[in-house]
Amino acid sequence: MIYFWWISGFILAAVWLSRVFDAALGMPTIADLARPEWDRPAPSKSKISMIVPARNEEEMIGKTLPTMLRQDYGNYEVIAIDDRSNDRTGEIMDRIASAHTAGRAGPLLKVIHISELPADWMGKPHAMWIGAQQATGDWLLFTDADITFSPDCLRRAVAYAEESKTDHLVLIPTLIMLTMGERMMLAFFNILFVFGHRPWKVADPRSKDHMGVGAFNLIRRTVYDKVGTHAKLRFEVLDDVKLGKIVKENGFTQRVALGRNLISLRWAKNAMDVVRNLTKNFFALMQFRWPRALGSCLLLAFFNWMPFLGIFLAPGWSRIGYALALLSIFLIYVGLSWTEPISPLYFVLHPVAGLLFMYIMLRSTTLTLWRDGVVWRGTFYPLNELRRGLV
């Protein structure tokens, strides 16, 4: 049994310490577009098409769409897509459009209403594809209906993308967190995300690391067409991440930047809200394979519980590995506190968050298999079609 404690402790220490050193060296290389050096005009006057799909977003669209129309960038349009909403989303879009005048008052605003979803398409990829067909920009910016933009966001992002010769720019949003449950869960999610997608490695053409976020995917129109558009992702639950994947796989340049207060959103209101928001995604991350889902739960338990258990249960000097793992986890929380409103003290809730994330994985797997598909925004998508549509 003593060998188990020594070997487990060594593995935990090695993995967590590697994450600390990797992040410590990598994170400073990520550009922060809120810094003064990016408060500049873009090198060219390329036209940008902001594409925002929305389904049943009456609570937010009236607040977020005006922020998109108040950008201080001189050459852009906004395309808002009402994707089969059965609330007041389309009505609010039309009201904003009727009150908005292109030209001196701001950019062109197009509103598109979708009434039917074609076969072999998921709603959001289809809405973004429709928006892209109507777009006239040199760049396409795919964003979400709950994102708030600062007036200088587009100008700074385009300046960075063009000066760094980037084909696809991912801007990490600022998450508005008001409750302890949000902070606990989103801190853990950030740590988990960095395990799978190292943002500082995305720009390295030799690395397979890639990224995409629904809040801000800015891509050159020519590149978007060459990688297959959203038609390539027509039945992908994780369409935003997979857009980054196909860009990277096709050899185009990709970068991640921080967008502190340039874009922001309130993604969840409490811990269980995070559970609900991620339920549709987690089994898709496992490519809808239940052995992978169960294996991931075991790995989550080992890497996030064992350091806390081992420090008390391991005998003698074998505790040193668990102590190093715990120190590493705490240092990651310290680093996270520099960019997010999350105290390092949330470290003590790390095992609780780990338990809830295992629950999300099991819940996502069980519900998908029980329903034989995924329900997303009120539409049911069969599991066999989801598996066929995986990228």
Burial 50-70 (b: 16+ CB within 10 A, else e): bbbbbbbbbebbbebbebbbe
The whole-angstrom separation of Cα 309 and Cα 316 is 14
Residue 358 predicted with pLDDT over 90? yes
Give pLDDT tens digits for 209-262: 899 999 999 999 999 999 999 999 999 999 999 999 999 999 999 999 998 889
Q: Are residues 314 and 166 in the same domain?
A: no
Which of 230, 265, 300 is the last residue in one of the domains? 265
Is pLDDT larger for residue 64 or for residue 108? 64
Of the residues 265, 298, 325, which one is the last residue of a structural domain? 265
Question: How far apart are alpha carbons 148 and 168 in whole angstroms?
Answer: 21
Q: Answer yes or no: do 353 and 255 share one domain.
A: no
Does 203 fall in a domain?
A: no
Nearest Cα to Cα of residue 48 among 73, 13, 18: 73
- Same domain for 46 and 169? yes
Report the CATH number that the domain containing residue 91 is assigned in CATH: 3.90.550.10
354 located within any domain: yes
Q: Specify whether 248 is located in the same domain as 284.
A: no
Contacts of 225 (CB under 8 A, 6+ apart): none
Phi, psi dihedral angles at 112 (to 5 degrees): -120, 130
Considering the domain boundaries, does residue 188 fall inside one?
Answer: no
Q: Is 377 left (phi over 0), alpha (psi -120 to 50) or beta?
A: left
In-domain check, residue 204:
no
Question: What is the mean pLDDT of the segment spanning 350-361?
Answer: 96
Can you read off the two tokens belonging to residue 277?
A: 């928001």
Q: Are residues 22 and 37 in the same domain?
A: no
Burial of 243 (0-12, 13-18, 19+ CB in 10 A): buried
| Average pLDDT value over all residues in the chain | 92
Neighbours of 118 (CB within 10 A): 8
Strand partners, 108: 77
Looking at the structure, tell me whether residues 351 and 233 fall in a common domain.
no
**Considering only CA atoms, which of 177, 110, 151, 159 is closest in space to residue 263?**
151
Give per-residue pLDDT as tens, 66-114.
999 999 998 999 999 999 999 999 999 999 998 887 665 568 899 999 9
User: Residue 26 and residue 20: Cα distance in Å, rounded?
Assistant: 10
Domains: count for the chain: 2
The mean per-residue pLDDT over the stretch 306-315 comes to 94
Per-residue confidence (pLDDT) for residue 101, from 0 to 100: 74
Rounded mean pLDDT, 261-275: 92
Residue 192 lies in a domain: no
C-alpha to C-alpha distances, 266 to 31, 173, 330, 338, 353, nearest whole angstrom: 23, 10, 25, 19, 19
Q: Are residues 236 and 381 in the same domain?
A: no
Average pLDDT over residues 188-213: 87
Domain of residue 319: give its range.
Answer: 2-26+271-388
Do residue 43 and residue 140 come from a single domain? yes
> pTM here?
0.92
Of 240, 265, 290, the domain-final residue:
265
Residue 100 — φ and ψ, nearest 5°?
Answer: -105, 135
How does residue 42 score in pLDDT terms, banded at 50, 70 and 90?
A: confident
Q: Which of 121, 107, 115 is nearest to 50 (CA)?
A: 107
Instruction: Compute the distance between CA of residue 70 and CA of residue 49 in angstroms, rounded to an integer.
Output: 14
Read off the pLDDT of each residue in 10-38 and give the average, rounded to a whole number: 91
pLDDT at 234 (0 to 100) = 93
The per-residue pLDDT for range 137-186, each reduced to its tens digit, is 999 999 999 999 999 999 999 999 999 999 999 999 999 999 999 999 99
Q: What is the H or E stretch that residue 363 is in?
A: helix 350-371
Q: Assess contact for 274 and 48: CB atoms under 8 A.
A: no
Say how far apart CA 321 and CA 324 lie, in whole Å.
Answer: 5
Tell whether 112 and 252 lie within a shared domain.
yes
Helical pair 290-313 and 319-337, crossing angle rounded to 10 deg: 110
Q: What is the pLDDT of residues 205-215, one digit of tens each?
A: 988 889 999 99
CB distance 132 to 224 below 8 Å: yes
The CB density around residue 137, as the number of other CB atoms within 10 Å, is 19
Say how far apart CA 300 and CA 205 lie, in whole Å: 29
- Are 144 and 260 within one domain? yes
Q: Is the pLDDT of residue 18 over 70?
A: yes
Q: Are residues 234 and 355 in the same domain?
A: no
Domain-embedded: residue 159: yes
Kindly state whether residues 232 and 379 are assigned to the same domain.
Answer: no
- The pLDDT of residue 106: 67
What is the percent of the chain where pLDDT is above 90?
Answer: 78
